[in-house]
Chains A and B, each alone.
Chain A
Amino acid sequence: MSKILTVSPSPHVHSDESVNKIMYRVVLAMMPALAWSVFVFGFDALRVTLTAVAACIVFEYLIQKFLMKVTPSVTDGSAIITGILLAFNVPANIPWWIIIIGALVSIGIAKLSFGGLGNNIFNPALVGRVFLLISFPVHMTSWPVNIQSGVDAVTSATPLGLIKESIKNGQVLSDVLGDVPGTMDMLLGNIGGSLGEVSALLLIVGGIYMLFRKVITWHIPVAVLGSMAIFSGILWLVNPEIFMNPVFHLLTGGAMLGAIFMATDMVTSPMTPKGQIIYGVGIGIITISIRTWGAYPEGISFAILLMNAVTPLINTYIKPKRFGGTK
């Protein structure tokens, strides 16, 4: 036979998984929550999201091509995810130039300076968000009105912000509970908050899709939300006058967005199920602690970043159960 045959080591077949497919599934999973944001916050939500995505793509391309002098990898889809997640974490009416600064920090500092996709230690979108929160505290905490909150919405503050204020003012919770949105409103997303975090329900829908498509496993979301529920539940049982109930904690702020979309970022979370549970529980406990005793009403971003930093350590010490191992 004259033909030259390919000779290479096994395996000779490959699954049809690819990084692209995974990334686009994540993007798809975020679409329901994005659609809801456009509905309740108006066209602003779309403008902010598109600006963030475009800025992330452009920065990644330019930095890789001209500074790092490598082949740009923008087509892998990860810059799009960072863009959307960054937008999800800011108020829908944020000025365009702030979101662009956020994108630069996310892509340039948090991602590419570590070596690009797969090498970064911290979730890029969260680094961008925290940078903006510290640099532009006023812009980052001025919430637009959610059209679903009803005409008599006296305030556009987030439920978590509301609680934090009243506790600071020395009120007991039973006095302010009337001002807090009902459980149904929180679940559906008829509350104030960052662009992509308001609808717990639609974030869960996205999460179920990702579970189903095997983009994520249950370990991290369940560990984060479970530990938040248990920890806040204990506090609430101790004194319901100063601690909010677990349902409130799970449905407000960035709990769902963080647990489902940000803590699960593959690059920055542990590799083994056991490691993922430790990481998730860490996030849950830190989040409730910041919400309860910290300076900020919401703490899940900080919690995730802190646990991102612990991830390499977890990977070093938590090994999968070896087949035929002694333990």
Chain B
Amino acid sequence: MLKTFKPGGVHPPENKISAGKSIEVLAIPKTVSIPVSQHIGAPAVALVNRGDEVKVGQVIAKSGGFVSANIHSSVSGKVKKIDIIPDSSGYPKSGIVIDVEGDEWLEKIDRSEELVKDFDLDSKEIVDKIMEAGIVGLGGATFPTHVKLVPPKGMKAEILIINGVECEPYLTSDHRLMLEKANEIVVGTRLLMKAMGIEKGYIGIENNKPDAISLLTEKTKEYPNIKVVSLKVKYPQGGEKQLIKAITGREVPSGGLPIAVGTVVSNVGTAFAVYEAVQKNKPLFERIVTVTGKSVEKPSNFKVRIGTAVSELIEAAGGTPEDTGKIISGGPMMGKAIAKTDVSVTKGTSGILIIKDEESKRRETIACIRCSKCVSVCPMGLEPYLLMTVSQKQMWDAVEANKVMDCIECGSCSYTCPSNRPLLDYIRLGKGKVGQIMRARKN
């Protein structure tokens, strides 16, 4: 029997329209706007000034704290300005705008396609290279990878899980990467295992991607300590805690990190970035982005330089369809709707999804019929209907006691509710409030 997680989960239509489209290199734009905060943690600190010449791969902003990451230029050219630019949520964030001239890369970067399989580095050297390259979790969480690789004192990682689940409907960037860069991903996996002194590695892939499963199974044959695990399709299997449960049966304790059960999870995109950083000296300045949607003329998977405007990607996929109602950065379950397309692709951008007008409006909310569907689909064992009610009534004690902080915001509850209740909206509200209260209590 195929493995999967318990409890809960839903089966939204997969709509992987762009699954058959090979990765295309997107033309380098005329200008890029690179935000200095593309990760969880402190923003990076700009190192360049207006008028400076930069090369591809050059550090332009330095990690600004323990949990932070370097930012590199994705193009060569001249720094036009350091300015406030809107991030994908529309919030003003500091960023570096560069006018592109040519495509001149740093000397040290190995631009050949040749596979470099072997390495002779100790774990410290690998971690340093990963840190230098500014790698963050590319599955969307954007947590700096080098921080994750050094477990807190007294904790030991035994198992590395590479996340190739891509459970969000529509998105195919990880799928394409697994098909086109399987060898590199395997090397990246070995590097991550070496970095942490881990003996056992798993690559988890849902069985709606049989081609990726068989390819990676073949490529890992020579490494008996890396196993490809085929998983039964269910959303949100790509959630860290759900994936760990599905593969190892272990449950990350409430409020804890995967390391608490001896596991570390990295996305396939991250494993590939690690390969490039360590074996090719290439920092993280480009990534694969799916551009898709039911009305999109040419659904595509692009290799994009960080800082490219979303509008350029949409143009390359055939332009904004007439019937566009909503544009989402990410997938339909957890992605963010964006108000404008002049925002930049960042390290965490996995896809751009264009939703038709008629599908972009919410349906009318009616009374809760207590059908308990939200309870049965919640992968964290919560009671969404109750959390919504107590949040609405501002009963923050009850919100906290009913474990609101465990919610992973997967959206399965809102997706399922037959009364179209905006469960997650209110749960987020409750989470925010309870978070504030908890922080205040600590101080």
A interface, CB within 8 angstroms of B: 1, 3, 5-15, 17-19, 21-22, 73, 76, 78, 116-119, 217, 266-273, 319-326
Contact B333 A7 (CB under 8 A): no
B218 to chain A: closest CB distance in Å? Answer: 34
Q: Is B359 an interface position by the 8 A CB rule? A: yes
**How far apart sit A116 and B368, CA to CA, in the bound complex (Å)?**
11
Interchain CB contact (< 8 A) of B12 among A13, A270, A272: A13
| Bound Cα distance from A266 to B339, whole angstroms | 39
Can you add 10 more A-B contacts, CB < 8 Å, to A9-B425, A13-B13, A266-B372?
A12-B335, A13-B359, A14-B363, A14-B414, A116-B367, A266-B370, A271-B372, A320-B378, A323-B245, A324-B254
Whole-angstrom distance between the Cβ of A1 and the nearest chain B Cβ: 6
Contact B339 A7 (CB under 8 A): yes
From DSSP, what is the main secondary structure of chain B's interface residues? loop
Contacts of B424 in A (CB 8 A): 9-11
A269 to B371, CA, bound (A): 9
Q: Is the CB of A323 within 8 A of B254?
A: yes
Q: Is the CB of B326 within 8 A of A19?
A: no
- Jot down 14 A-B pairs with beta carbons below 8 A, ordered by A: A1-B320, A5-B326, A6-B361, A10-B337, A10-B409, A10-B424, A13-B169, A17-B373, A266-B369, A266-B371, A321-B7, A324-B253, A325-B254, A326-B254
Q: What residue in chain B is nearest A215 (Cβ atoms)?
A: B371
Q: Shortest Cβ distance from A123 into chain B, in angstroms? A: 12
Give Cα distance in the complex from A22 to B369, angstroms: 10
Docked CA distance A6–B412 (Å): 21
- Residues of chain B within 8 A (CB-CB) of A8 are 326, 337, 362
Residues of B within 8 A of A18 (CB): 363, 418, 420
Judge whether B416 and A17 touch: CB under 8 Å. yes
Cβ of B262 within 8 Å of any chain A Cβ, yes or no, is no
Q: A321-B7, A323-B380 are in contact. Are A11 and B414 (CB under 8 A)?
A: yes
Within 8 A of A (CB), among B1-22: 7, 10, 12-13
Which residues of A have CB within 8 Å of B370? 118, 266-269, 271
Considering the chains assembled together, what is the distance between the CA atoms of A269 and B245 in angstroms? Answer: 30
B418 with A324: CB separation less than 8 A: no
Within the assembled complex, what's the spacing in Å between the Cα atoms of A119 and B339?
Answer: 38
Interface residues of B toward A: which range?
35 or more
Contacting pair B241 A323 (CB below 8 A): yes
Complex contacts, B251 vs chain A, CB 8 Å: 323-324
B residues less than 8 Å from A270 (CB atoms): 372
The B292-331 residues at the A interface (CB cut-off 8 A) are 311, 320, 324-328
Question: Chain B residues with Cβ under 8 A from A217's Cβ?
Answer: 376
Q: By the criterion CB–CB under 8 Å, are A10 and B335 in contact? A: yes
For the complex, give the distance between the alpha carbons of A21 and B416 in Å.
Answer: 13
**Is B226 in contact with chain A by the CB < 8 A criterion?**
no
**Contact in complex: B334, A5 (CB < 8 Å):** no
Tell me which of B105-113, B117-125, B188-196, B381-389 binds A.
B381-389
**Assembly CA distance A5 to B352 (angstroms):** 14
Inter-chain contacts of B360 with A (CB < 8 A):
6, 12
Residues of B146-197 at the interface with A, using a CB-CB cut-off of 8 Å, are 169
Knowing A10-B334, A11-B415, A13-B169 touch, does A5 contact B327 (C-beta < 8 A)?
A: yes
User: A1–B312 Cα gap in the complex (Å)?
Assistant: 12
Would you call B411 an interface residue if the criterion is a C-beta within 8 Å of the partner chain's C-beta atoms?
yes
Given A117-B369, A322-B254, decide whether A7 and B381 contact each other with a Cβ distance below 8 A.
Answer: no
Contacting pair A320 B367 (CB below 8 A): no
Q: Are the CB atoms of A11 and B337 closer together than 8 Å?
A: no
Q: Which residues of A contact B341 (CB under 8 A)?
A: 1
Contact indicator A6/B373 (Cβ below 8 Å): no
Is B338 in contact with chain A by the CB < 8 A criterion?
yes
Shortest Cβ distance from B42 into chain A, in angstroms?
26
Greatest chain B CB density within 10 A among A1, A6, A73, A326 is at A6
B406 at the A/B interface (Cβ < 8 Å)? yes
Smallest beta-carbon distance B381→chain A, Å: 4
Q: Report Cα–Cα, A8/B332, bound state, in Å.
A: 11
| Distance from A173 Cβ to chain B, minimum over Cβ atoms (Å) | 41
B265 to chain A, nearest CB (A): 15
* B81 at interface, CB cutoff 8 A: no
Question: Which residues of chain B (341-384) have a CB below 8 Å from chain A?
Answer: 341, 353, 355, 359-363, 366-373, 375-376, 378-383
**Considering the chains assembled together, what is the distance between the CA atoms of A257 and B54 in angstroms?**
77
**A19 touching B336 in the complex, CB below 8 Å, given contacts A12-B328, A12-B355:** no
Q: Once bound together, how far apart are the Cα atoms of A176 and B342, in whole Å?
A: 85
- For residue B360, give the distance in angstroms from its CB to the closest CB of chain A: 5
Is residue B247 contacting chain A, with contact meaning CB distance below 8 A? no
Chain B residue nearest in CB terms to A14? B415
A112 to B: closest C-beta gap in Å: 12
Task: Give chain B residues whose Cβ lies under 8 Å from the Cβ of A321.
Answer: 7, 381
A residues less than 8 Å from B241 (CB atoms): 323-324
Q: Are B334 and A11 in contact (CB under 8 A)?
A: yes
